[in-house]
Amino acid sequence: PSDTGRVLSIQSHTVQGYVGNKSAVFPLQLLGFDVDPINSVQFSNHTGTGYPTFRGQVLDGKQLWDLIEGLEENQLLHYTHLLTGYIGSVSFLDTVLQVVDKLRSVNPDLVYVCDPVLGDEGKLYVPQELISVYQQKVVPVASMLTPNQFEVELLTGLRITSEQDGLTACNTLHSAGPRKVVITSALIGGKLLLIGSHKKTQEQPPEQFKIEIPKIPAYFAGTGDLTTALLLGWSNKYPDSLETAAELAVSSLQALLKRTVEDYKRAGFDPSTSSLEIRLIQSQDDIRNPVVTCKAVKF
Ligand code: ATP
Ligand code: PLP
Ligand code: MG
Ligand code: NA
Ligand code: MG
C-alpha cells in the first residue's frame, strides 16, 4: 500500500465559497493525493442557509457517464478511491452505482467513501425516493460511510437518542456492507459527538469509539464534506486505526473553525447570526499537520 492515491471525487462545485468539491479537493491534495473532480452541479454559491438565491447548472446521469467513457477510452479509469457527496436525483445516483462497478472492474481494491447526504437536523434535502436507493444499492457497495445522525436514522430506521443507539445503528450498517462507519455528528445528551465503528473482521465485533467535539455557536457550510474528505485521507495513511484518522480529521476541523470564527469577528461580523464560509485556504497548515486536540474514547 502506498501513502498516496488517486481519488475520483463526484461532488458539487460552487463558484464562491467552500462546499462539495471546493471543500474536498484542496485538502486531499494537501494530504498528497491526486484528485480528479467531477462537478455534479455548478452553482454560484451554496444552497443552504445564508444566501437568498443561487443559480447554475446540474449534471445529469448521462453527462456523468459521458465523462466516464471519455476517461475509459484513454485508459484513465485507474483510481484508488471514489468519493461521493450530495446527489440530487435517482438517475444520477444510479449512474454513480455504474461508476462504482466500472472502477472496481479496473481496480478490484477500489475504496468507495460515501457520504450519504440526505438531510440534517430533521430536514430532508433530497427527494424521498433516494433513501431506498441508498439503503438497497449504495450502502452495500460502500467501503466507508459517513452519515450524520439524521441520515443514520433514515438509513436504519432506528432513532438515535443515546450513544448505545448510535453503536447499534453502526452494527446494522456494517451488516449491510461497509467495514467503516463514521457518524460525523450527533447531538446526544446535549453533547456534539462523532461516533466511529470499524468492523475489521467478519467474526469479531467492531472497534467502536466516540470523540466529543466542543460545539461552536455558529452554522457552517462545507464542514460535512470536509470531514469526509479528511477521513478518506487519514484512513489511507492509518488503514487499521479509524480512531487515529478521526482524531486527526476532527482536530483539523476544530482548528479551522476556530480560525473561521475569529476572522469573522475581527471583520466585525457576529458569527452566531449567519452561516459562515470556512477559512479553508488559510488553514492549510492545520490540514497538513494537525495537532490532535480531540481524543477518541473507546467503547
Ligand atoms: P453531512 O454533511 O454528511 O450531512 P454532518 O451533518 O455531520 O454531515 P456537519 O454538521 O457539518 O456535517 O459536521 C461535520 C463536522 O464539522 C463535525 O464532526 C464537527 O467536527 C464540525 N462542526 C460542524 N459544525 C460545528 C459546530 N457548530 N461546532 C463545532 N464543530 C462543528
Ligand atoms: N453542496 C451544496 C451545493 C451545498 O449547498 C451544501 C450546503 O449548503 C453542501 C453541498 C453540503 O455542505 P455540508 O458539508 O455543510 O454538508
Ligand atoms: Mg450537520
Ligand atoms: Na456526514
Ligand atoms: Mg451536510
ipTM of the complex: 0.96
| pLDDT one-digit tens code per residue, 137-180 | 999 999 999 999 999 999 999 999 999 999 999 999 999 999 99
Cell, residue 78: 485507474
The residue ranking higher by pLDDT, 274 or 244, is 244
CA of 296 to the centre of ligand 1 (A): 16
Residue-wise DSSP of the chain: --S--EEEEEEEEESSS-STHHHHHHHHHHTT-EEEEEEEEEESS-SSTT-S---EEE--HHHHHHHHHHHHHTT----SEEEE-----HHHHHHHHHHHHHHHHH-TT-EEEE----EETTEE-S-TTHHHHIIIIIGGG-SEE---HHHHHHHH-----SHHHHHHHHHHHHHHS-SEEEEEEEEETTEEEEEEEE--SSSSPPEEEEEEEPPPSSEEESHHHHHHHHHHHHHHHSTT-HHHHHHHHHHHHHHHHHHHHHHHHHTT--TTSSEEE---GGGHHHHHS----S-EEE-
Percent pLDDT > 70 in the chain is: 99
| 227 Cα nearest atom in ligand 2 | 14
CA of 117 to the centre of ligand 2 (A): 9
Catalytic site positions:
225
Sequence-separated (6 or more) residues with CB below 8 Å from residue 192: 185, 186, 212, 213, 214, 215
The answer to whether the CB of 9 falls within 8 A of the CB of 37 is yes
Q: Is the CB of 61 under 6 A from ligand 1?
A: no
Percent pLDDT > 90 in the chain is: 95
Q: Is the CB of 46 under 6 A from ligand 2?
A: yes
The answer to whether the CB of 249 falls within 8 A of the CB of 275 is no
**For range 42-57, the mean pLDDT:** 93
Distance between CA 184 and CA 231 in Å, rounded?
10
Number of structural domains (the chain) is 1
Q: Is the CB of 224 under 6 A from ligand 1?
A: yes
Whole-prediction pTM: 0.97
In this structure, which residues have their CB less than 5 angstroms from ion ligand 3? Answer: 120, 148, 185
- Domain span including residue 247: 1-298
CATH of the domain at 53: 3.40.1190.20
**For range 209-223, the mean pLDDT:** 96
CA of 265 to the centre of ligand 1 (A): 20
- Residue 274 confidence (pLDDT): 80
- Residue 1 confidence (pLDDT): 40
